[in-house]
A = this chain, B = another copy of it.
Amino acid sequence: MVSSSVKDVAALARVSIGTVSNVLNRPEIVSPETVERVTLAMEKLSYVRNEAARQLRVGHSHALGLITLSGGNPFFTEVTTAAEDEAATVGYSVIAGNSDEKKDRESGYLTLFEELRVRGILISPVGNVIPRLRRMRDRGIPAVLVDRMSKDMSFSSVSVDDVAGGSLAVSHLIESGRRRIAFVGGPSEIRQVSDRLLGARQAAAAHPGVTLEVITLAALTVQEGKRAGEALVERPADARPDAIFAANDLLAIGLLQALYMQGRIAIPDEIALVGYDDILFASASVVPLTSVRQPSRLIGETAVQILLEEADDPTLEPRQILYQPELVVRASSS
Contact = CB atoms under 8 A, between A and B. Distances in A.
A214 interface: no
A77 B81 contact: no
Contact of A117 (B52, B84, B98): B52
A205 interface: no
A81 B71 contact: yes
A97 B81 CA distance: 9
B285 A48 contact: no
Given A71-B80, A286-B284, A288-B286, A51 B115 contact: yes
A319 interface: no
A124 B139 CA distance: 38
A256 B135 CA distance: 50
A160 to B, nearest CB: 20
Nearest to A116: B51
Contact of A284 (B78, B97, B253): B253
Q: How many copies does the complex hold?
A: 2
Interface in A78-94: 78, 80-81, 84, 88, 93
Interface string A46-86: 10111111011000010000000001101001101100100
25 contacts: A1-B139, A2-B139, A46-B135, A48-B115, A49-B115, A50-B115, A50-B117, A51-B52, A51-B115, A51-B116, A51-B117, A52-B56, A52-B117, A53-B56, A72-B81, A88-B108, A95-B95, A96-B96, A253-B281, A253-B284, A256-B284, A261-B283, A281-B285, A284-B286, A286-B288
Nearest first, the 10 A-B pairs at minimum CB distance are A51-B115, A52-B55, A52-B52, A281-B281, A52-B56, A48-B114, A253-B284, A257-B284, A1-B138, A3-B139
Given A48-B111, A72-B78, A95-B95, 18 more contacts: A1-B138, A1-B139, A2-B140, A50-B56, A50-B117, A51-B52, A52-B56, A52-B116, A53-B56, A72-B77, A72-B280, A88-B108, A93-B112, A253-B281, A281-B285, A285-B285, A286-B286, A286-B288
